[in-house]
Every structure is written in C-alpha cells, then in structure tokens.
Amino acid sequence: MSVVEIANLTKRYGSVLAVNDVTLSLEQDIIHGLLGRNGAGKTTLMQLLTGQDFASSGSISVFGAPPVENARVLQNICFIKESQKYPEDFRAKHVFTNAPLFFENWDSAFAEQLVAEFRLPLNRRIKKLSRGQLSSLGVIVGLASRAPLTFFDEPYLGLDAVARQLFYDRLLEDFAEHPRTVILSTHLIDEVQNLLQHVIVIDEGRILVDSDAEELRGSATTVAGTARAVDAFTLGRTVLSRQGLGALAQATLSRLSDEDRAAAAAAGLDITPVSLQQLVVSLSETAQAASAHSGTSAQLGTSTTSTQREK
C-alpha cells in the first residue's frame, strides 16, 4: 500500500525547476533513501510532501489527501530538517516537553534513553548547542516521535561516526519493533546503503532511479583491463562510465549475466562489483553528460529511466 502518491509534480522558483514533473509513490512501512547531489531537489520535494510549500503544478496525496494545511495528514508526519529553527531561548528539554503535544505516538522513555546515549545536554540553550548536538536533537525527535511518515533530511550534519552508527542502529531496531514509512535523505550513501529497502535518486529535479535497493545492488559491474579488451567487451552494451589510463581502461556497465561474466573473465578482464554510492555517481554523471549533449533535460529523464528499466 502506498502512503504517498505524487503525479507530474513540478515546483518552480523563478526560472529554476527545483522539482520537475515527478511521478512517484512511496510504499508503507519501508525505509526509503532519497539520494542526490546538492541542489538536486531533495529538500524541495520533502517540503512539498509535508505541506510546507505549494506545488507549481501536479498533485500530491499523502495518506490519501493533499498535505497542505491538512491537520489529519500532518499529525502523522515528522519532518526532521537539516536546519530546524526553534523559539529563541528554547532549551533542549523544552523540545521534549512539547513534542508529545505534536506526536501521538511519542515515546518519552525512548527519548530519554536516546538523550543519554547521544549525550545531549538538556539544559543548554539550543542556540548554544554545537552543530552535532543540534543534529542529535533532531535525530532523537525523529526516532521518538514514531510518526507513521518520518522524513530525515541530512539528519547528521556534524555528528561524529559513533553518533551516526548509534542513529543507524536505533533506527533499525525501532523500525523492526514499530514499522513505519521512513524517508532518509543523505549524501552518505555508503553508510546507509544497507538500511534502505528502496532507493530514489533525484538529479536536477528529476527522478533518475526509483528502484528496490536489492535490485539496484548488483545492477552494475566494473570491468577493467587493457583498453582494447574493455572496448571489445563493452561494444553494444550500455556503458555508464568509462575511464582510461594509457593502455588500460575500466568501464561500468549495467547488469551482467553469468555468461557475460564468464566472457569477460575469458577476455582477461577483472570484474568488480559497484557500490550503491559509485552507481549513483555514475548515473548522475551519465545524466549530466546526456543533458549537456541533448540540450534539454526533458529527454534526459526519459532516456535514463529507460536505461534503468532495461536491466
């Protein structure tokens, strides 16, 4: 069952198309990764989904209704923003006394446990918190609110490696106990890739990838060897990216069958898997090249989407 349905959604800021004709649905009780470069449109998309901004055109349905000024929809949403603003003179403890008023499923005991684990100083004024502590505060609210639809927009700016690992562990544990729909927007793809069930990659306001995470894993392979062998092997296949170094080359290709792998090995090529992060980088680069080539981003969307579907 889908929690979010958007169709032909566009958001225009002056001449900039922040979200460009996006059609997408988000399934219930799944952890989604929303990935893409800076300025790709991730935050705008989340603002539209949480009713914090108006669409220029297209439709949005969240829990079956448009989210803008819709209390029934919004009370089921928690949106943890990269730069959440709090009232002047608010201390962290005030956030935790107010949160239960907004979130029906708020778990105070869980929040307390997280405050201790993240070592968040409750009595300090929020404007005196470090960047990492501010991020901890957001992460704790996002987890303890247990909202049926939770957005984390780059939740861990300034968080150290230990705190990030703590966030991933608690998210997985709590998600297992209390399944809900999570949208995690991030640049740290390597770190979160194993948490995700569904991956959405956005670039220049358009959806590049909308795929099951497991299908995406293993959907690309890098072959490396002499330039001649690489080029002979890649002839007639979809090449996502290619680098050369003198007589050597490596190319990233979409999914290879067992026979393809055997053929590549027989041709003396080294075959290595491509991580989700490398794949996203390759796809974004391919999209950029295609857009520079064709001159219109409209064609780019359809061509890359069809490449995705071929696999």
**Residue 161 Cβ vs other proteins, minimum distance, rounded to whole Å:** 13
Residues in contact with other proteins by the rule CB under 8 A: 30-31, 168-169, 172-173, 175-177, 194-197, 213-215, 217-218, 220-221, 265-266, 268, 272-276
Identify which of residues 32 and 91 has a Cβ nearer to other proteins in the complex. 32
Identify which of residues 99 and 166 has a Cβ nearer to other proteins in the complex. 166
**Residue 266 Cβ vs other proteins, minimum distance, rounded to whole Å:** 7
**Residue 48 Cβ vs other proteins, minimum distance, rounded to whole Å:** 26
Tokens (6 digits) for 137:
């505060």
| 189/185 Cα distance (integer angstroms) | 9
| 19/231 Cα distance (integer angstroms) | 37
Identify which of residues 66 and 268 has a Cβ nearer to other proteins in the complex. 268
Contact 171, 182 (CB under 8 A): yes
Nearest to 253 by CA among 227, 228, 271, 265: 271
The tokens 């729909």 sit on which residue?
Answer: 181
Identify which of residues 133 and 181 has a Cβ nearer to other proteins in the complex. 181
**Residue 87 Cβ vs other proteins, minimum distance, rounded to whole Å:** 36
Identify which of residues 158 and 273 has a Cβ nearer to other proteins in the complex. 273
Identify which of residues 74 and 213 has a Cβ nearer to other proteins in the complex. 213
- Within 13 Å and on the Cβ side, how many CA atoms surround 215? 11
**Residue 160 Cβ vs other proteins, minimum distance, rounded to whole Å:** 17
**Residue 61 Cβ vs other proteins, minimum distance, rounded to whole Å:** 24
Contact 58, 7 (CB under 8 A): yes
Residues 6+ apart with CB under 8 A from 7: 23, 58, 59
Contact 157, 82 (CB under 8 A): yes
| 46/52 Cα distance (integer angstroms) | 9
Neighbours of 104 (CB within 10 A): 12
Q: Classify strands 198-203 and 31-35 as parallel, antiparallel or unpaired.
A: parallel
